[in-house]
Amino acid sequence: MRQTFLLLTGMLSILLSSCSTLITNQYEATAVACYTWQVKYAYDLSNEKLPRLETFATKCLLNRNGIKPSGAIIGPDDRGLWWPTLPPRPSVDEVEQRKHSQEQASQPELLKTVEYKLTYTVGEQQRTLPTNYQVYREVVKAYPTPLQLTLGIGNNSVQKAEPVANTGL
């Protein structure tokens, strides 16, 4: 029991020490909102565990700091995101052209995806890191107030963003 506790404590301290915080007043939160048409192909769609996926048309729109981008048609949605027009739905001919012999094809599905990133500058260094919806929203609400950012393990993502009052930056 004691060895397990020591092992867990050691692992936790390594994880915590590999994260860092920083303050910046130059940043941009982005969310790339995409619509993509996808079709599943399989010999038996109802029983196939890993059907073959084919992607057809995709349209994306870059959201910056929550401001309505040019070309935005839909939005803001319930997450504050703006969306592009829908890409053209694949025709029956397009779906059949990608079908292998004896395969079945599903109806085209419209997928919605969002990729969140935060670009920040500290000193002369600019970095762009992946983040999540919660951080994106915090940055949007705080913009243009300076932020304290908490980076994730290995400083390879942004885990938290908090406004900083009167830092003199």
In a domain, 58, yes or no: yes
Q: What was the pLDDT predicted at 7?
A: 44
CB atoms within 10 A of CB 54: 19
In a domain, 87, yes or no: yes
Residue 5 has pLDDT above 90, yes or no: no
In a domain, 94, yes or no: yes
Q: What was the pLDDT predicted at 165?
A: 76
In a domain, 86, yes or no: yes
Q: Is 118 exposed, middle or buried (0-12, 13-18, 19+ CB in 10 A)?
A: buried
Place of tokens 């192909």: 41
pLDDT, tens digit (0-9, with 9 covering 90-100), for 11-49: 444 444 467 999 999 999 999 999 999 999 999 999 999
CB atoms within 10 A of CB 138: 20
Q: What was the pLDDT predicted at 19?
A: 79
In a domain, 6, yes or no: no
| pTM, rounded to two decimals | 0.82
Residue 157 has pLDDT above 70, yes or no: yes
Split into its structural domains, the chain has a count of: 1
Residue 130 has pLDDT above 80, yes or no: yes
pLDDT, tens digit (0-9, with 9 covering 90-100), for 55-107: 999 999 999 999 999 989 999 999 999 999 999 999 999 999 999 999 999 99
Least confident of 53-62, 70-79, 116-125, 158-167: 158-167
In a domain, 169, yes or no: no
Q: Is 150 exposed, middle or buried (0-12, 13-18, 19+ CB in 10 A)?
A: middle
In a domain, 92, yes or no: yes
Q: What was the pLDDT predicted at 15?
A: 47
Nearest to 56 by CA among 33, 35, 38, 34: 38
Category of 15 on φ-ψ map: left (φ > 0), alpha (ψ -120 to 50) or beta: alpha
Residue 57: domain span: 18-163
In a domain, 11, yes or no: no
